[in-house]
Structure 1
Amino acid sequence: MKNYLKKTICLDFDSKEVQALIAEFKTNDIDEIEKAKGIYLKIRDEWRYNPYSISFDAEKYKASTIAQRDEGHCVDKAILLAACLRGLNIPSRLRFAKVTNHIAVEKLTERFGTNVLTPHGMVEVYLNQKWLKATPAFNKELCEMCNVKPLEFDGENDSMFQEYNGDGQQFMEYLEDYGHFDDVPLTFMRDNMMEHYPEVFNSNKVDYSF
């Protein structure tokens, strides 16, 4: 379990940026579950979801760097949540998957040539002697625009994705599970994206920094 509490280069929870985020939860007045729920909501809604930016600059995948922005894609927000949880002494790890988005995909398909998102990032948090999945990717405002209920995390059950929107139309579908990681797997992420988005990488619009 120690691996899931330690500081890493990317999960730099001792930084002033991450410490500022978790300051309100560093109290004995609320238990671990309430802390996890609170920081989940904070990251879900205070960072807008933006899936269109790809970078291989390792500095951009540090939690302290992400904390200084006001938007990020699913991996960014998962990194930030995992770091915050560790900063609150709650074990956490990253989990990646391949998913399909079925709603509002025109811009996504134009950018990546497909409606498949990979790697899709979420967090696993250890509460009450079990690992739970928490996915803070989609902020409340975006969900309302897409007629989808915001994804909640109750600290007792997995919170992975919204399968349907309010009209019963399929919203997201999980295609492949890549497993969990105790740190940000930068090389895996690069290789995975290069495999799935060759047109993007052949366009020389991606910064290769690791």
Structure 2
Amino acid sequence: MADPYLSPGRFVDCDAPAVVDYARDAVAGLRDPVEQAVALFTRVRDDIWYDPFVVTEDPAAYKASTVVTSRANWCVPKAVLLTAAARAVGIPARLGFADVRNHLQTPRLRERMGGKDEFVWHGYSEMLLDGRWVKATPAFNKELCARFGVPPIDFDGRSDALLHAFTPDGSVYMTYGRDRGVHADLPLEDMLATFRAVYGPGMLQPADSGVDEFTAPG
């Protein structure tokens, strides 16, 4: 029986040529799986600008082979891409999800989320490295972190790399709540159903053309 954490899925399409090429380019010259995982994490984190305003109901937008072509995206598609890229180079990987309370927001984002500050189904990747599952969230690119005055999340391939609990001045930044488990592929309909229940229809509608700290340059 095929290992589900190495096999292609509907969204984690690790066998797609665009994903394979992307992963191989990121790990070029590296043979150690830990070093490969770090390189893949950094590439996904910084190649794609974090933008929470591009949440959509379109299933095609969540396929790794689509995400790899995007200039800006949000945590779940970025985690899907990292998971697929890891599998493409032979690293067992799966998706993990948890609800997080974000204390670093913008008025524009809070309005889109119906006044809430909890992000349900925050996505990250888990990779099997040196015999243990290690969590890594490639959500926030380093330039965006600089805008908010927080350091980027770094990953060494051995310790979990999750969202910061505090900003440099000691203020609360992110707190983790409900754990929604790990999955071989993206449970899209469950995630979208929760979004509709928690945020209402606004979160899944096309975003306005406003500008805030999350807006990519250029």
TM exceeds 0.5? yes
Instruction: Tell me if 1:179 matches 2:186.
Output: no
CA distance in 2, matches of 1:156, 1:166: 23
CA distance in 2, matches of 1:17, 1:109: 35
> Counterpart amino acid of 1:62?
K
Instruction: For 1:8-23, list aligned pairs within 5 A.
Output: 8-23=9-24
How many residues of Structure 1 are paired with residues of Structure 2 in the alignment?
Answer: 204
Is the Cα–Cα contact under 8 Å of residues 146 and 165 in structure 1 kept in the other structure? Answer: no
CA RMSD of aligned residues (A): 1.7
Gapped runs of 5+ residues in structure 2? 207-218
Instruction: For 1:21-60, list aligned pairs within 5 A.
Output: 21-25=22-26, 29-60=30-61
1:188-208 alpha-carbon deviations (Å, 9 max, x no partner): 11111111112526xx837xx
Instruction: Name 1:95's counterpart in structure 2.
Output: 96
Is the Cα–Cα contact under 8 Å of residues 83 and 95 in structure 2 kept in the other structure? Answer: yes
CA distance in 2, matches of 1:137, 1:188: 21
Instruction: Tell me if 1:205 matches 2:195.
Output: no
Gapped runs of 5+ residues in structure 1? none
Partner of 2:52, secondary structure, is: coil
Instruction: Tell me if 1:134 matches 2:136.
Output: yes
Instruction: Name 2:82's counterpart in structure 1.
Output: 81
Is the Cα–Cα contact under 8 Å of residues 103 and 174 in structure 2 kept in the other structure? Answer: yes
Q: What is the deviation of 1:26? A: 5.5
1:27-86 alpha-carbon deviations (Å, 9 max, x no partner): 674200000000100000110000112212111110000111111100010000000000
Is the Cα–Cα contact under 8 Å of residues 105 and 115 in structure 1 kept in the other structure? Answer: no
Percent identity of the aligned residues?
Answer: 35
